[in-house]
């Protein structure tokens, strides 16, 4: 049921080495490619008999996947602008993900749509339409290279392999031509730049899937041979460095202008692994390889993700420390020129200090520290409200035969904190004057709540109110006029023209229904969402969403009119508010 890990892909790569070596290079061996296809299905779906689809939790999850796929199939409306009305092109992530979900429901047992011809045909038609209008061989690569070379082709090829019986030769050829345009064989020539480490494994995965879909044994052999530079790094531990324990503890990556190589150039071997930027960690010493192999460590936390309206975002993580008693609730609110960072409920019984690393940059640039703020030349500013001593360190660190300068800023929560918290602002690219001015204006971003029940802020100048609800209902409480029936992320933005947007997300991917109330007068919903089941307007707005569990944590945004003008209560059905 789990998606394939990189370690499993390496095992599959080992199989490809053997099979590719046994087939003629100039003629496709049907048996070999059939075996590769079968083994890929086993890796991505599970070996036959590995789980009983009639037993829990598989029964419920498979039924949920089937319902999701049925909804995707029934609402698919191909146009030149979209495949689904709520996902306008290019939709490089969400649209291919839906096609893959449909293909998984087709291939897995117990979904209610297993091997259903109509679903298989819909997957094939969806792939063809998306390749024609977005992921075409002659399309211009815009935005993040990763989407075009890894994320999108991986999802499309996975869907194509799982629903292969329903794709025509023409559809397969068009998809393969597009993949070849964005991931040519030459992409794997040199082990450098962004073709190293995890990216290299992902590029090889795409190349192997392209070989399976297009019946190309030569390309399968290339995918396998191109893995060889990775093996020295993935033999054990997390696949990169045996002390990369805390990268999953809220590490926040950001680049200042002119510092695009900040996290390369020997960053990983030389950085202090206990002080990765953005993390909250127990300083308990860990042995090399702690956490086991890739994907072996899973915390009990389910809340990780957030909501975005495309401009701003509210992101959170219910954090558990690795091989530690540490627990914390952390949030990041992404705004125009700053990231507001909140931490609460920081509790630990390891007998060692717990730290929140505001930043740890590979630089020897000048650091200016003043009351309530600090600035690092060429990088940006940091605002730390009163009562939180900001600690700093300048050091040279040597590893792997190289030495690099580091500047570290952190907050010390002491030994075994019980319910500690923090607030700080990151201001990437800001100058010292801008940073000092923001520190002198503590009301710019008002903290609405910072507890283990909810974390939220209000920035009146931007019209933004954002809250991460760790619990719902009465326990979740109210913040900024917002309440929620269940754990979720909510982002409200007053657009300043009499309208506002309300964005919600279910980071746990667990809710069949969610009700969010905004205590503001609203006249009408002017732009809905397919998952919006009911909207009650008037003195306050109450939105009820259904099926968020199947939305893969993605955000749902609706637009309302009449904020600030009380109107008579009105309830609208799904048809009235959906776009």
pLDDT in tens, the chain (579 residues): 444 444 444 444 443 433 333 343 444 456 677 888 888 888 888 877 778 899 888 899 999 999 999 999 999 999 999 999 999 999 999 999 999 999 999 999 999 999 999 999 999 999 999 999 999 999 999 989 999 999 999 999 999 999 999 999 999 999 999 999 999 999 999 988 888 878 888 999 999 999 999 999 889 888 888 887 876 655 644 445 566 888 889 999 888 888 877 887 788 889 999 999 999 999 999 887 777 655 566 788 899 999 999 999 999 999 999 899 999 999 999 999 999 999 999 999 999 999 999 999 999 999 999 999 999 999 999 999 988 999 999 999 998 788 999 999 999 999 999 999 999 999 999 999 999 999 999 999 999 999 999 999 999 999 999 999 999 877 778 899 999 999 999 999 999 999 999 999 999 999 999 999 999 999 999 999 999 999 999 999 999 999 999 888 999 999 999 755 433 333 333 333 333
The rounded Cα 389 to chain-centroid distance in angstroms is: 32
Say how far apart CA 194 and CA 69 lie, in whole Å.
34
Contact predicate 122/106, CB 8 Å = no
First to last CA, the chain: 34
Contact predicate 199/150, CB 8 Å = yes
Say how far apart CA 157 and CA 183 lie, in whole Å.
13
**What are the phi and psi torsion angles at 12 (to 5°)?**
-65, -35
CATH number of 6-234: 1.50.10.100
- In 3-state terms, what secondary structure has residue 445? coil
**The pLDDT of residue 528:** 94
Helix axes 6-21, 30-45, angle to 10 degrees: 170
Contacts of 506 (CB under 8 A, 6+ apart): 486, 487, 488, 514, 548, 549, 551, 553
Homologous superfamily of 453-579: Polysaccharide lyase family 8-like, C-terminal (2.60.220.10)
- For 100: left if phi > 0, alpha if psi spans -120 to 50, otherwise beta; the answer is alpha
Contact predicate 118/169, CB 8 Å = no
Which residue bears the tokens 């029936």? 485
**The pLDDT of residue 289:** 72
Residue 427 DSSP label: E
> Which helix (H) or strand (E) is 486 found in, with range?
none
Domains of the chain by residue range:
6-234, 243-442, 453-579
Residue 319 DSSP label: E
Pick the CATH number of 243-442 from 3.40.190.10, 3.40.50.300, 3.40.50.10300, 2.70.98.10: 2.70.98.10
**What are the phi and psi torsion angles at 106 (to 5°)?**
-70, -40
Indicate the pTM of the whole model: 0.67
**The pLDDT of residue 570:** 37
Say how far apart CA 565 and CA 523 lie, in whole Å.
7
Say how far apart CA 419 and CA 329 lie, in whole Å.
10
- In 3-state terms, what secondary structure has residue 272? coil
Say how far apart CA 106 and CA 129 lie, in whole Å.
19
> Longest C-alpha distance within the chain, in Å?
75
Contacts of 523 (CB under 8 A, 6+ apart): 537, 560, 561, 562, 565, 567
Which residue bears the tokens 């109509």? 118
How big is the chain by its Cα radius of gyration, in Å?
25
Which residue bears the tokens 């794997």? 188
Rounded to 10 degrees, the C-alpha dihedral 111/115/120/122 comes to: -50
**The pLDDT of residue 578:** 32
Contacts of 60 (CB under 8 A, 6+ apart): none
Contacts of 165 (CB under 8 A, 6+ apart): 120
- In 3-state terms, what secondary structure has residue 348? coil
Any idea what the Cα angle at residue 59 is, between residues 56 and 65, rounded to 5°?
135
Which residue bears the tokens 């079968």? 38
């Amino acid at each position: 049921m789990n998606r394939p890990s990189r370690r499993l892909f390496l095992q599959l790569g080992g199989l490809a080495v053997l099979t590719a070596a046994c087939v003629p290079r100039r003629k496709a061996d049907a048996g070999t490619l059939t075996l590769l296809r079968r083994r890929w299905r086993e890796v991505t779906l599970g070996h036959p008999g590995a789980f009983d689809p009639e037993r829990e939790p598989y029964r419920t999850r498979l039924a949920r996947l089937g319902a999701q796929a049925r909804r995707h199939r029934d609402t698919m409306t191909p146009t030149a602008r979209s495949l689904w009305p709520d996902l306008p092109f290019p939709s490089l992530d969400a649209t291919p993900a839906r096609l893959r979900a449909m293909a998984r429901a087709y291939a897995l047992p117990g979904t209610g749509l297993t091997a259903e011809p109509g679903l298989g045909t819909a997957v094939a038609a969806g792939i063809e339409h998306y390749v024609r209008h977005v992921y075409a061989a002659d399309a211009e690569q815009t935005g993040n290279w990763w989407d075009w070379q890894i994320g999108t082709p991986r999802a499309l090829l996975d869907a194509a392999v799982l629903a292969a019986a329903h794709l025509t030769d023409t559809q397969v050829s068009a998809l393969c031509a597009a993949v070849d345009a964005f991931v040519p064989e030459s992409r794997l020539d040199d082990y450098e730049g962004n073709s190293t480490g995890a990216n290299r494994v992902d590029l090889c995965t795409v190349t192997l899937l392209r070989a399976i879909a297009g019946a190309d044994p030569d390309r399968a052999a290339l995918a396998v041979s191109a893995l060889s530079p990775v093996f020295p790094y993935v033999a054990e531990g997390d696949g990169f460095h045996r002390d990369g324990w805390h990268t999953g503890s809220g590490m926040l990556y950001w680049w200042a202008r002119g510092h695009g190589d900040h996290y390369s150039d020997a960053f990983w071997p030389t950085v202090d692994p206990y002080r990765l930027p953005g993390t909250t960690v127990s300083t308990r010493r860990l042995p090399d390889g702690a956490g086991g192999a890739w994907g072996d460590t899973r915390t009990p936390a389910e809340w990780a993700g957030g909501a975005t309206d495309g401009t701003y975002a509210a992101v959170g993580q219910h954090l558990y420390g690795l091989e530690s008693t540490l627990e914390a609730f952390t949030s990041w609110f992404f705004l125009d020129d700053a990231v507001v960072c909140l931490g609460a409920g920081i509790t630990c019984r390891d007998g060692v200090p717990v730290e929140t690393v505001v930043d740890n940059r590979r630089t020897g640039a000048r650091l200016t520290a003043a009351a309530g703020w600090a600035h690092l030349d060429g990088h940006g500013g940091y605002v730390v409200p009163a009562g939180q001593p900001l600690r700093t360190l300048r050091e040279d660190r040597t590893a792997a035969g190289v030495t690099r300068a580091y500047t570290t800023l952190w907050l010390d929560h002491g030994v075994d904190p019980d319910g500690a918290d923090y607030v700080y602002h990151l201001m990437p690219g800001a100058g010292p004057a801008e940073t000092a001015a923001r520190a002198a204006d503590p009301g710019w971003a008002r903290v609405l709540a910072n507890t283990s029940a909810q974390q939220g802020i209000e920035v009146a100048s931007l019209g933004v109110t954002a809250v991460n609800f760790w619990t719902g209902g009465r326990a979740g409480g109210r913040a900024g006029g917002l309440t929620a029936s269940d754990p979720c992320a909510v982002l409200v933005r007053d657009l300043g023209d009499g309208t506002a947007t309300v964005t919600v997300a279910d980071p746990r991917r667990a809710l069949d229904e969610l009700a969010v109330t905004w205590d503001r007068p609203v006249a009408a919903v002017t732009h809905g969402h397919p998952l919006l089941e009911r909207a009650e307007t008037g003195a306050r707005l109450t939105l009820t969403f259904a099926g968020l569990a199947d939305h893969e944590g993605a955000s749902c945004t609706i637009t309302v009119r009449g904020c600030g003008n009380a109107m008579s209560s009105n309830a609208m059905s799904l048809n009235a508010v959906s776009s």
